[in-house]
Amino acid sequence: QVQLLESGGGLVQAGGSLRLSCAASGRTFRTYVMGWFRQAPGKEREFVAAINWSGGSTSYADSVKGRFTISRDNAKATVYLQMNSLKPEDTAVYYCASSTNSVIATTASSFASWGQGTQVTVSS
């Protein structure tokens, strides 16, 4: 079992930046992929970014490429999402997720453990 706790959300103006953190605890010694998803009101949960154990492979949704960067620090059992040039359409609850798979997947069903989410609001 893996427990995940997101932090770093908040209210920012369009064009601003935020860095989200996700601290993992429990059985973090296994090979796993970490990812970020988001869900806006009335919308389905969508993939944002993912990273493998070594950090050598990453994947991003087209809507965030060039603006968001995912990274991880395994010594701290923490994954980060640096969000720059934020847009109002980025407003959503952002969820951290963990997968026991060894390869990156972009579907929510591929991630077994989830955090409770952190709110990101971008004002126009």
The answer for residues whose C-beta is within 8 angstroms of residue 54's C-beta and 6 or more apart is: none
Contact 100, 1 (CB under 8 A): no
φ, ψ dihedrals at 90, nearest 5°: -80, -10
pLDDT digits (tens, 9 = 90+) for 71-124: 999 999 999 999 999 999 999 999 999 998 889 999 999 999 999 999 999 999
Give 54: exposed, middle or buried? Use CB within 10 Å, 0-12, 13-18, 19+.
Answer: exposed
Q: What's residue 102's pLDDT? A: 87
pLDDT digits (tens, 9 = 90+) for 23-82: 999 887 675 899 999 999 999 999 999 999 999 999 999 999 999 999 999 999 999 999
Write out the DSSP string of the chain: -EEEEEE--EEEETT--EEEEEEEEES-SS--EEEEEEE-TTS--EEEEEE-TTSS-EEE-TTTTTTEEEEEETTTTEEEEEE-S--GGG-EEEEEEEE--SS---SGGG--EE---EEEEEE-
